[in-house]
Structure 1
Amino acid sequence: MTGKRFWSLVAVALGGLYFLLPLAGMVDFSMRMKRGEYSFEAYRIVLADPQFQQTFLYSVGLALLTIVLGILLVVPTAFFVRLKLPGLRPVIEFITLLPLVIPPIVIVFGYIRIYNTSSILPLTGTWWGTNLLLLFGYATLALPYMYRSVDTGLRTIDIASLTEAAQSLGAGWVRILAVVILPNVFVSVLSGAFLTFAIVIGEYVFAALLNVNSFGPYMVWMGSNRAYEPSALAVVAFAITWACMGLIQLFTRFSKFSTARR
């Protein structure tokens, strides 16, 4: 057992070095903008850039809307499939896996082909239409993660008993979903929400081909026109992603602690 534990620690250490050394090199390079000294000048320039602020806030707003759309779509679907239509679970799971199989560039070209200015629904010809397509596209990309997070949460509770109890008290389906089911799978919904947030913040293909100035295209533009600022921007994006992962763990531990106290 001691030998197995030693080699397990060695494997974890080597894996950690494989991922952490490039990150450390990127951080070191981003702080060498001033010759001969370490400084946060590249970070200051990036964070003070009005385009960074505009694109980042835009992507954050779009990510929040995508999370809301995903919750409204996935929670009722997963609930009714598990409660009323268990035979459709393989079909629903297959559909939710399609965004992992179909490349985003295929989806966005389909959007452009179907909703261009010469079609019946010329959504790409207006600002609102383009943003609507972008919202639906991001919800599609996040669907595998959101659905599996919610479905995993539903497996941990007895939704049949909870539904029957709520119906016996006169609750309708909307009230059951909002007051009974959603609070019980709140941590799972948050996990899917933070993963959705990380996906939307760094997505490039949809935004670039739909000609939307979001955070993903801004990072690519910065990388092709600057030297030190792209490394600083990559560190910022990496920190945002890991902050989302940390929040998932925090809420998960808090939920377990609250359950244990009950």
Structure 2
Amino acid sequence: MKRQFPYVSTLIVIASAAYFLVPLYAAFQFSLQMRRGETSLDAYASVFSSPVFLNTLTFSAITSFAAVIIGSVLVVPTAYWVRLKLPKLRPIVEFVSLMPLIIPPVVLVFGHLRLFGTNSILPLTGSDLGTNILLVLGYVVLSLPYMFRAVDNGMATVDIATLTEAAESLGASRLRIVTQVIFPNVRSAIVSGAFLTFSICLGEFVLASLLNRPAFGPYMVQLGQDRAYEPAALAILSFGLTWLLMAFMQFFATRRPGQRILPRFRPAR
């Protein structure tokens, strides 16, 4: 018996693709019309030639990468310890990790300013370095739901209890177990959460704007207020970068996170 062609699902897919691709194509066409009567890449050349573009993109890339590193160091041991020793606290930890999705970023940044302002015990906002640290910590909080969920799902596919017992029987310390056993076995999940965190923090606006940091998100907003064609080109570039990160995330997410089991340990004497 022949299967009927899925007309409804195909129509839904086409309509969904058109909903996203048609505005993107319109923005791309508009970005090519900076030179009247001709199709050119002048808007893209103007964006790339701007030192502000390179500076803000570099700043956001560095802070996003720092947020990924700090988030991984915090989330992986926490998820590992909760799954191994404190399974009853897992619902509470999951709820706490979802709080950044409930609390608006503007509330988060005003709370940071109140706690770490110039009149507080730890005045981080008194210097550029301290404000940058505060921005990175804010990015870590914003990325917590995505990083924790990715790492927790990765650990669900690995028998961490057996791996821990095997490593301990070979004389490995708990720190060495986390760094050389758990981290390698959930590396695909960590990379997936890292790329998602990086793409979110790269274009974040609220924290960077209220902390007055030279980040990529405020630059895009400011450029949209001052120029006509360059914002469209910048939007296409940001979409392309985000899609590239998503492609990397999908590539690493489809890899099995438990390919490496145990490193070689020397038995304790």
Match of 1:99 in 2: 100
Partners of 1:211 and 1:89 lie apart in 2 by: 37
Q: Map Cα deviations across residues 198-246 of structure 1 (whole Å, 9 max, x no partner).
A: 1111000001101111111110110000000000001111111100000
Match of 1:7 in 2: 8
1:180 maps to 2:171? no
Partners of 2:98 and 2:3 lie apart in 1 by: 41
The Cα of 1:257 is off from its aligned counterpart by 11
Query: Equivalences for 1:50-129 in 2 at 5 Å?
Result: 50-129=51-130
Match of 2:233 in 1: 232
Partners of 1:252 and 1:141 lie apart in 2 by: 21
Contact 2:185/2:258 (CA < 8 Å) preserved in 1? no
Q: In angstroms, what is the RMSD of aligned CA positions?
A: 1.5
Letter of the structure 2 residue corresponding to residue 214 of structure 1 = A
Percentage of identical aligned residues: 50
Match of 1:220 in 2: 221
Q: In structure 1, list runs of 5 or more residues that go unmatched.
A: none
Figure out how many residues of one structure are paired with residues of the other and give that number. 258
Match of 1:133 in 2: 134
Partners of 2:93 and 2:8 lie apart in 1 by: 41
Partners of 2:156 and 2:252 lie apart in 1 by: 18
SS in 2 for 1:113: helix
Q: Map Cα deviations across residues 74-123 of structure 1 (whole Å, 9 max, x no partner).
A: 00000000000000000000000000000000000111112111122111
The Cα of 1:129 is off from its aligned counterpart by 1.1
Partners of 2:134 and 2:34 lie apart in 1 by: 39
Query: Equivalences for 1:164-203 in 2 at 5 Å?
Result: 164-203=165-204
Match of 2:263 in 1: none
Partners of 1:191 and 1:198 lie apart in 2 by: 11
Partners of 1:79 and 1:21 lie apart in 2 by: 44
Letter of the structure 1 residue corresponding to residue 185 of structure 2 = N
Q: Kindly report structure 1 stretches of 4+ aligned residues shifted beyond 4 Å.
A: 1-4, 256-259
Partners of 1:107 and 1:248 lie apart in 2 by: 27
The Cα of 1:252 is off from its aligned counterpart by 3.2
Larger helix proportion of the pair: 1
SS in 2 for 1:118: coil
Contact 2:186/2:257 (CA < 8 Å) preserved in 1? no
SS in 1 for 2:249: helix
SS in 1 for 2:6: helix
